Amino acid sequence: MNTPLVAAPPRSATEVVRAYVALTKPRIIELLLITTLPVMFLAAHGLPDPWLATGTMVFGTLSAGSANVLNCYIDRDIDEVMRRTRRRPLARHQVSPRGALIFGVILGALSTLGLGLTVNWLAAALSTGAILFYVFVYSLVLKRRTSQNIVWGGIAGCMPVLIGWAGITGGLSWAPFVLFGVVFFWTPPHTWTLAMRYREDYAAAEVPMLPVVATERRVVGQIIVYTWATVVCSLLLWPIAGTSLVYPVVAAVLGAACLWEVYQLRARLAAGKTGVDLRPMRFFHWSNIYLALLFLAVAVDSLL
């Protein structure tokens, strides 16, 4: 088991602010916003209303931050054990658990009220539902009990797509649900390759991620299945949303590159590579690029 990393509490106001900001996991929020803004372009068939777009992005950021802070509060025990997470503020005792809990609840309340008052109450309800799902279903129930944790827990990460659409239109339709499906199928292989790299961490923390409880062959097989589902689902947006040819062409090229990368992973496994020699992080980093460029294509196509 990894030795917890202990640090002295922050002393200056700047250090305190940085610690609380770190609890929100800004890098994850960036990824969520990448899927939110392009959907608003699609919903508006061009440039979205700046007031609605700004409100959705600002209070959507607070919503994602709330979920991440509350997740850090729940996972503070395993974060101390894992090398990948032991530098987080709660694991290093830079923020008190009570302080983190209060901060997370305040962010959640502000996000709900902000979205309701400046955007619409459907967006606010979807945002609140995402927070509650991530905290109570994923963090408290699924994460430590089943290898399917990220499959169903990833639903919370799909919600910004629906929130962005509802923020502009005040309703929902099939198009955002297609993009919801893209993020849903994309999340497991993205997370599993990260878990392959940090398998020992998850095992030490007794978190049953698929790479911990299954063979590498089975994990890679599942990654291939979900990657195919992601690519196929991405192409459905063309007929359902009535995009121009720009989007499906870009989606097809990006999908082909993503599939090539995942089959390279399988080839390394077939060649006898294992553990870090499989280089699962290649696919992890590429999947980030894939999702960002795919949603960028959604926005660009909407402007044409």
All structural domains of the chain, each given as residue ranges with its CATH number in brackets, are 14-169 (1.10.357.140), 173-304 (1.20.120)
The whole-number pLDDT of residue 1 equals: 46
Q: What is the pTM of this model?
A: 0.93
Q: Which of 59, 58, 162 is nearest to 111 (CA)?
A: 59
The answer for residues whose C-beta is within 8 angstroms of residue 231's C-beta and 6 or more apart is: 251, 255, 256, 258, 259
Considering only CA atoms, which of 268, 283, 278 is closest in space to residue 189?
Answer: 283
End-to-end CA distance of the chain: 54
Is the dihedral angle over the CA atoms 36, 38, 44, 50 positive or is it negative?
A: positive
Q: For the chain, which ranges sit under pLDDT 50?
A: 1
The reported pLDDT for the residue numbered 296 is: 97
Under a CB-based contact definition with an 8 Å cutoff, are residues 208 and 149 in contact?
yes
The structure tokens listed for 85 are 């997470």
pLDDT at 275 (0 to 100) = 84
Q: Per the structure block, which two tokens stand in for 288?
A: 């980030």
Q: Residue 124: what pLDDT?
A: 98
Structure confidence at residue 12 (pLDDT): 82
CA distances from 18 to 22, 153, 165, 242 (A): 6, 28, 32, 44
Question: Which residue is associated with the tokens 């109570």?
Answer: 136
CB 55 within 8 A of CB 167: yes
